[in-house]
Structure formats: structure tokens, C-alpha cells
Amino acid sequence: MDKCRINIVIIEPSDIIFEGLSILLLKTGQRIYLYRISDFDELSNLSEKEKINIVIQNPVILQNRMNYFTKLKKQYPDILWFGLVYSYFDSELLNKFNEIISISDTIEIITKKLNNQYKQCGCKNNLQEELSEREIDVLVQLVKGLSNKQIADKLNISIHTVISHRKNIIEKTGIKSLSGMTIYAISKKIISLDMAVL
């Protein structure tokens, strides 16, 4: 629902560092939710509940576990991996990360690093709510009671495109149920009352 919210998991044994980093991250101006875990094992549990965007970790826990890290990256292809570095590490290890935050980084640098990486995640920071013409076409058919397949046939587009339009409609309007969308469509005068299947 909240597409611009960034869920960040921090794996850092030191309380002082964790607290300090948390405060800086919350000051970056991004909508950040923080989770702290002590080991990768907890990641699977957490990722079931929340979509994790970024994991920030002390590379110490990965030292001599390079294969394990490669496996993790495969297991969670959507996660961005940040290293939090405050001592010397082999560059081979550091290169495995998408980004490195150094202990001496200022808030400006951290913000920049976060923004650089996060834009690549496809978050457009776009809060525009107007539905596009095509989305309106799909919405109209949806509230008439047509299935994805029927809509695809009627509008001459693929089912995947229909599904992706649906997803966008839900994101933009904040409304998931068909009956909710119907009310939306009527109140925005997209369809008239007698067109809808209520």
C-alpha cells in the first residue's frame, strides 16, 4: 500500500552503533521502517511479514562465509545489501555489497547513498493518483464484472498487462475490493450507476 516506504533491516551487534545509525537513517527524509535482527536466520521470518528493501549489516558476520552470502543474495533477489564498515575488510568482500556505509559518513552522504540505490528499486516517488486512460478502461470493465481474461480479450491486451493495470489501480486509489472500486468509479463519474454490477 505504502509504496514509498522503505523497510530496512539492520544486523549490527553494537547497540551504540545501531542506535546512532537508526537516528541518522530516520533523518534522511525517506519514509523508513527499521527492524533489527541478530542473525540471517531471522530474515526469512521477517520477510514473510514485510517486504524487505534493504539489509544493512556489519560485514564481520560474513567474513569467511562468502558462499553463504552469495546464496542469500540469490534467495532474496529484491533486497539491496549495504555493508556498514568501521574496520578494515577485504575489498573482495566489500565488492559483494550494493553499497557501503562507512562509520565516518555524514548524514548527507548517507542520504545520497540511500537515494542513489533506492531509485534503482523502481520506487518512482510518484504520488500521482490520477488513473491513466488505459487504467480507466480496465477499471470500467472490472466493475462491469469481467474477468482478467475477458478484459484482456476485449481491450486487446495481454492478461499480464491487465493484472499490472489492476495493481496500479489498487496502488493509486488505495482500494482493493471490486465493490469498493465500483463506488470509486461511480463517485468519480467514470461509470454511471446503471452500468455497475452491484
Partner 1 sequence: MSDLINENYSLLMLLEHLNIDFAVGDKTVSQICKENNISKSVFLVVSNLYNGFYPDKGDIHSISDIPIIIRLLKNSHRFYKEDKYPEIKEYLMKLHDKHNTEDIKLIEKFFNDYFNEVLEHLDYEEQTAFPYFCQLIESESIQQESNFSAREYKEHHSDIETKLTDLKNLMLKHITFKNDLPLRRKFLYCLFELEFDLNIHSMIEEMILLPLITKVEKQLLNG
Q: Which is nearer to partner 1, 2 or 90 (CB)?
A: 2
> Using CA atoms, how far apart are residues 34 and 88, in angstroms rounded to an integer?
26
Contact present, 56 and 82 (Cβ < 8 Å): yes
Q: Which is nearer to partner 1, 115 or 179 (CB)?
A: 179
- Minimum distance of partner 1 from residue 27's CB (angstroms): 21
> Using CA atoms, how far apart are residues 153 and 155, in angstroms rounded to an integer?
6
- Minimum distance of partner 1 from residue 182's CB (angstroms): 8
Q: Which residues are within 8 A (CB) of 168 and not within 5 positions of it... i.e. 6 or more apart?
A: 131, 132, 135
Q: Which is nearer to partner 1, 99 or 180 (CB)?
A: 180
Q: CA angle, 116 as apex, 112 and 121 as ends, to 5°? A: 140
- Minimum distance of partner 1 from residue 190's CB (angstroms): 11
Binding site for partner 1 (CB under 8 A): 1, 45, 49, 129, 173-177, 179-180, 182-184, 186-188, 193, 198
- Minimum distance of partner 1 from residue 7's CB (angstroms): 13
Q: Which is nearer to partner 1, 46 or 100 (CB)?
A: 46
- Minimum distance of partner 1 from residue 118's CB (angstroms): 24
Q: Which is nearer to partner 1, 96 or 172 (CB)?
A: 172
Give the CA distances from residue 134 to residues 38, 62, 138, 169, in Å, rounded to whole numbers and listed in that order: 46, 47, 6, 10
Half-sphere exposure of 49 (CA within 13 A, CB side): 7
